[in-house]
Structure formats: C-alpha cells, structure tokens
Structure 1
C-alpha cells in the first residue's frame, strides 16, 4: 500500500527505528501527503456562522444606549427592557442548542449549518422592521436560536473535518470569528444607527448559506450513516488528491462500527461518556462564571460608569484586543496545548477582575463635591483611576481570548464519542447559554446588591476555581485523534 511505502520512506529518511505499533508512523506518512487548502476553505465557510453570532452578541452594546434615548415611545427601552433586550438572546441560544443537538444527528452537520442562517436573517429583518418593543424581543430571540445552533454545529463540523495536526488551530477560529463579529458590530456602531446596524449584521449569515452549498458533509457523519463512497469523496476534497484517504476512512469506519449504535440512557454508565460530559458541562459553567458575557454585553455601560467620555470607542478597543489575542491563541493552540493556555488564561482573568474590583472600590471612595476646587480634584482622581479600569479590561480580555474563550468550545468538539456527540454537545450548549442568561440578566442586580467592586471580586474568585479545575480534571488533547481521545476516557491505552 502507498501508506506503508511512505511510512518506510519517512523512517529511513529520519534514521528511526520501526515503531512497534506502526500507527504514529502511518499517521505521519499519511499526513505528509495531505493538502490543507480546501480544508481551510471549508473552515472559512463554516466560521461565517460564528461571525454571525458575534454580530448578535455585540449588537446590544451600541444599540441599547440609542434605543433608551430614541424619540419614538413605542421603541424606547427603560432599564428593565434594556436588560431583557441584552439578555433574551441567550434564552433563544439555549433553545437553539437543544434544536442543534437534534438537527446534527438527523440531517447532518452541513445542512444544520445552512438552515441556521435563516433565523439569523429573519431575526435581524424583524428588528429592522420593528414597530414596538416586542418585535425587538422577537428578533433577538430568533437570532439567539440561530446562535445556539451555530455554537454547537460549527465546532463539531470543524473537529470532524480537520486532522489532528491542525484541529486546535482551526477549532480556535470559531472564537476568533465570534470576536471579529463583536468588534465589527462595535466599529459599525460608531457610524450607523441601530436599524442600519441590523442590516449590516444580516450580511454574514447570508454569505454562510451561499458558501456552505459548495462544502462537503463531514466524513464521520457520512460513515455513521453507512455512506462509505460519499465519505471518501469528502475526505478527498478535504485532504487533496495525493492523500490515500482510504486509510483514514477505514480508521474512522472502525470506530464508527463500535460507537454509532445511537445514544441510550444506559450509555451514561460508560466512563467514555459520563467523564467527558461532566468535563464539558463544567467547562461551560466556568466559562460564563468568569463574567465575560456580562462584561461584553454591557461594555459601554461599564465604561460610562468608569467615566470614560468615549465609551463606544473604548468598546471598539476592547474588541480589537480580543481579536488579536484570540488570533494568537489559534496560532499557538497546537503547539502550547489546551491545558497550559487555560491555566494562563485563568490566572490573567483572576488578576484583572481583582484589579477591576479594586478600581470600583477606590472610585467609590473618591469624594464627590460641588465646589469648584473639590470638583476639579475629583475629576483628576477619576481620570487617574480610569486607566486602571482600562488596563484591567485589557488584561481580562487578553486572558479570556487566550484560553477560556476558544478552548471550552474546542474541547467540547473533541471529547465526545460519535454516538453521543449531538446529545452531549446540546447539553453543553444549553448549559453555556443558560449560564450566560443568568449572568447577564442578574449582572445589574449583582452590581447593586454586592456593589460593583464585590461583583468583580466574585468573578475573580470563580477564575481561581477555574484554575484549580483545569489542573485537576482537564485532559490534554493536543496532537491526538478523536478516536485516541475517546479511548483515553475509557482507560484504554491508545497507540
């Protein structure tokens, strides 16, 4: 076979001894013939979905200040309505996660991704045409449903297409495109009103629908449906004409024969199912308990409270920092590994949220006076403290972007066996968006009850728990095939 001859050639060239198992050498020989160009193309088409829900997540930040001041009383939001407008999208996303878990098993990853572009476009269309607050809510719920489906389907689609050498990098592109979408909507919000911003936000999901028409279904899903010929064609598209895809197809098929019988409740007794499921759920809980969505949803409000005159511009700077360091994480993911980046990320966020709490505490101690001399002194003190807020936000976003932003979604797409992948991913997505709703909806209440300083110190304590959890329970999946990761949870020593 070509793969055997190529393996021998590589071993001779390296002066190495024959690997007794032969698998790693066969993998190296196979991957040496792989061309990734069309894999990158398929990844780009799919991550237009995460870019779309980045627009959804970021839309509320520039839109809420405008909608609270709008002249039309039918559309004007009070504080409670603004809170719902920012957070209701997460309820739609939680429902979308459940819907996506059903869709990926029934119609596949590709069609699920294509269909989820429809509620994106319909939702933004309803917002554009809104005549009352309830239409705004409906539009946000629909875009939330689409976001939930996308956040489940795209990581699965990429992890099942990509091989182990680039899976971490390509999987990190999901979060990279989310933050690009957030930054894009922040930037557009500097120049566009809320209706034109909604029009702009409907462009990425439209492109998603068109581009995905030309991309293949994942080989693993096709093999789970008994479509061997279509799976080989998909692999040939993704790996290039020179790769002997029959070898990879046979390897995946062997795993599918054992694991594609369909999910049943009795499977929860299997350590290969319940261990990754618990890890996936806890990753999603801890990601949201860092406070990231509360901070991003209310970025402009936070900067206004921090006495920044150009709070909208500060939000764009935050978005830019997030894009840059998510890009850095994507580049180093397959070299540094998942666990190291999670640890660095957790420590950075713990330090920054502690500092943010210190800022709000010191700011509350600055005397507010109406006399001209005291007022000038107070303004200088606020200005000096404002830089602490900006630095804390920058460190937090940097830390989140390096680890706890992209990695939970990446690990979720890697650790579940084929037969429970849809159901288990749906549970994780439901957990993530439910926690996002709880945190964002109660954020203002926490700021009132615990004070601003106490709220950020609570987030800091959760970041410390994140670090402990990572050290104790998170497995390293760098450089492993999906089949090897699955075997490790079962206690089977993989080759």
Structure 2
C-alpha cells in the first residue's frame, strides 16, 4: 500500500497518543481548581495546621485573589507560547515535548505542597508555561507525523485530550474537594507529565523537521517507522520537495539507480494529482523551487520574514484570526456564566453535578468531531459550529431577558456542544495543516500567543461587562460567531485529504 492511501498505521497512532498526554495534562490544569476551589482557598479552618503539622489546611484568599491565582496559568501559557517557536525549531518537536513535561511535574508538585499563596501561584504559572508551549508543539508534531487521510482525526485528538483532562478533573475533584485531599487533586497533573517524559523517548521525531535540518536519512527512517510496511516514496518526495524544490529534491534523493530518481519524480506528479494540484497556464507547476541553486532545506522564517512574504502573511493572518475567534467567541465566558445559571436553579451540590454534565457534553461532542473531521472536512464542520454558537448565544439572551431557566441551561449545553464540534479543535489543527515547516514555528508562536492573550483578556474583562449589562453581553459573542462564519466561508481553504505542501501551493497562486 502507498502511504498516501493509509489512514491509521498503529505506530503513528501510538506516537499521537503519547504526544496527547500533554493535552490531557493541559485540560487537567484548566479544570483542577473548579470543584475543589472552596476547599483550596476558603475552608472553615483557614490556614490552621489541624490535619497536618507541615501544611496549612487551606490557603485563604479573597475572591479576587483566588481568581487571579487560578487564571495566572494563562500568563504562563502566554510565556510558553512565545518561547515555543524558537525552541521547537532548535530542539525539534520530540525533545521540546519531553522538556515541556517539566512544568507540569514541578508545577503540580509545588501546588500540592504549597504553604502560602505565592507557592500556589508560582505552581500555576509553571504549569501554564507547559500548557502554552505544549499547545504549540503538540499540534505541530501531530500534523507532521499524521497520514494525509487521518490528519483531521489525529489533530482532533489534541482537543480530545484537553476535554478528557477537564472532565476527569471535575470527576476526580468531587471526592478530593476536602481538606487535605485538595492537595492530591493538584498533584495528579504531574502524573501524565511523568509518563510522557519516559514514553516520548520511544517515539520518532517529525520527518518534516528532520528534513528541515538536512537529516534526510533519519527523516526517511522516521517516516517509514510511522507508516509501517507502506511504500513512502511519493509522500517522502513531496515532503522534501516542499522544502527544497523539485530540482533540489531530486538531487537529494538521487541514488545510483537513475531510474529510481525518475520514478520518484513520477510519483511526485501522481501525488500532486491525487491531492488536487493543478497546472498553471503555461502547463507546468507554479513553484519557484524548480531553479533551486542548492540542495539545502529552506531555513526557518522569523516573525518579521513571515509578514514580509505575501504568501506566508496570508497563511499567518488566516491562522491568527481563527485563534482569536476561538477565544473571542466566548467559551470561557459561557463556562463562567454557566456557574451563575446553575447556582440560581440548583443547590451547591447539584450545581457541581451540572458543571460535570457540561464537561460531559463537551466530551461527547468532541468524540463526534473526532470522527466527523475527516468525513465532512474542516470548513463545513467549523461553519456548523459557528452557526450553532451564534444561535445559542442569542437563545441565552432570550432566556435571560424573559427569565426562562430551562432555556438558559439548554443554551449553555448547546453552545458548549457547538464549540466542541468545531471552534475548539479546528484552529489547532489548521495551524499545523496550512503552514510549511520553515514557517510553522513562527506562525504557530504568533497564533498561540494571540490565543493565550485573548484567553486572559476575556477572563479579566468579561466579569466587568457582565456586571454592567448581564445576559445582554452575549450579543457580543453572537456577533463574533456571525463574523466567524463569514470569515470561514471566504478565507479558509478546505484542507481535508491534502498534504501541507499542496495547501501551501494553493496559497502561492495568490502571490502578489
């Protein structure tokens, strides 16, 4: 079988699952303060040492300080996303993921033994750094090791890992929402970090990154391991060609048997036809690499170079807008408001259960997304999600205006389902799908930094807006969702069953 026709070779799936341990840890860090929050900062015995002589029962904090302590991981995420680009270029995807586990391990351990608020905040910051770095490196790694026909499903595994982490944090948090067990709750975030530290060493690095470092033999070996017994000639030629051009790729892959080189070129043409590439008016491929003067892989682009290259600028703006939309569409605000809804309709214990139901809805719809991504394509799924987010935001306003509690609850669940099926996973997937290796780190770093920035801004500003205009604030998110639909329709190319190199060539047709 040709590797371009493969779907889910077992070793590739194993590498993706190991990489997604970071996503699970990310989700757990996000969800860990939700249920045990009261036991953490507002227990009856305060900072007394009744249950343990070495540690205070809890860490007393005002609501505002607690809010900052919890959201401080977003600051860490911002830092991690900014350093992630240069790190994954220099060290590679695999080593960056391994190094990234340190923040989860040290951060989780520090929070679990905190004796004051400062230790708790520093632990959240360190965990956040790993969340930010991982949110850049893991989707990149998954996109670069996955087969063309399974990249949607594999890419959604990143969001699926986050959702599982949030869900388990809520479930595990229930029995641990007591003194002193809340400490165990935060320490659990270190477990997937420890597991990934050892398991990641059994995975190969990204073949595309290895090619970018001119480690051609290693790249071929890595790709062959990922694809099992499948024939990788066409796929490997296209990977090399995408970075150094056709002439240079032929030279790099040339072997004593000249017939084989010709065969590789023919296979490259077949791959282009399979992925939908077209000839230009003169009857040949539109790529400047045909006259490549050497066989060196193209060096990684800086952020400045990204915005001075018309093709990369278009790709970067597409990715950045998707990441901004993901946060500005209001998922964190809806989750925040859901607590208010549930508290107004149920007692404290039932509100906790309803919060868990919300995470279950998120979990189930992410599973739907997992299987729909490679069937429906990215654009249709994302547009359905954006329409859903718009409709349910409007229903939230109606439910608030006329005080219809049941409508409010249904709207929260509907909104979360809409987000989970498309708006949540697709921006991370698209980041790794449309940016070539030599630009992916810079573009990914910009987009991820913007994502974490918007995450923090929404977390800080929404409570102020909500206090002023209450439920009408969701008109903002309905408007963002409507704009997102228009943007997706006109600006986002379909990436289903297309190689990264082919998608980039599609953008090159618009070169100024």
TM-score by length of 1: 0.86
Give the Cα separation in 2 of the matches to 1:230 and 1:302. Answer: 55
Aligned pair 1:114/2:72, yes or no? no
> Equivalent residue of 2:205, what SS?
coil
Give the Cα separation in 1 of the matches to 2:7 and 2:427. Answer: 28
Structure 1 residues 66 and 408: CA distance shift in structure 2, 3 A: same
Give the Cα separation in 2 of the matches to 1:492 and 1:239. Answer: 33
Q: Is the 8 A contact 1:223 1:253 kept in 2?
A: yes
Aligned pair 1:100/2:138, yes or no? no
- Which portions of structure 1, spanning 4 or more consecutive aligned residues, are displaced by more than 6 angstroms? none
Q: Is the 8 A contact 2:338 2:412 kept in 1?
A: no
Q: Is the 8 A contact 1:354 1:457 kept in 2?
A: yes
Runs of 5+ unmatched residues, structure 1: 1-5, 7-28, 364-384
> Equivalent residue of 1:184, what SS?
helix
Aligned pair 1:455/2:442, yes or no? no
Deviations 1:87-114 (A, max 9, x none): 2111110110011111110100001001
Structure-2 residue corresponding to 1:181? 165
Structure-2 residue corresponding to 1:216? 204
1:416, CA displacement in angstroms? 1.1
Aligned pair 1:233/2:221, yes or no? yes
Q: Is the 8 A contact 1:285 1:432 kept in 2?
A: yes
Deviations 1:395-434 (A, max 9, x none): 0111011110100110011111221111110000000000
TM-score by length of 2: 0.83
Q: Is the 8 A contact 2:8 2:147 kept in 1?
A: no
Structure-2 residue corresponding to 1:72? 46
Structure 1 residues 350 and 492: CA distance shift in structure 2, 3 A: closer
Q: In structure 1, which of residues 307, 310, 321 is the aligned counterpart of residue 361 of structure 2?
A: 321
Matches within 5 A, 1:397-416: 397-416=416-435
Give the Cα separation in 2 of the matches to 1:424 and 1:449. Answer: 37
Structure-1 residue corresponding to 2:259? none
Give the Cα separation in 2 of the matches to 1:329 and 1:189. Answer: 26
Deviations 1:449-473 (A, max 9, x none): 222x122222222111111211121
The number of residues matched between the two structures is 443
Structure-2 residue corresponding to 1:353? 393
Structure 1 residues 35 and 361: CA distance shift in structure 2, 3 A: closer
Q: Is the 8 A contact 1:83 1:441 kept in 2?
A: no
Give the Cα separation in 2 of the matches to 1:190 and 1:305. Answer: 20
Runs of 5+ unmatched residues, structure 2: 48-57, 246-296
Structure-2 residue corresponding to 1:479? 497
> Equivalent residue of 2:35, what SS?
helix
Structure-1 residue corresponding to 2:447? 428
Give the Cα separation in 2 of the matches to 1:191 and 1:409. Answer: 33
Matches within 5 A, 1:18-167: 29-32=2-5, 36-70=9-43, 71-73=45-47, 75-167=59-151
**RMSD of the TM alignment (CA)?**
1.9
Q: Is the 8 A contact 2:156 2:429 kept in 1?
A: yes
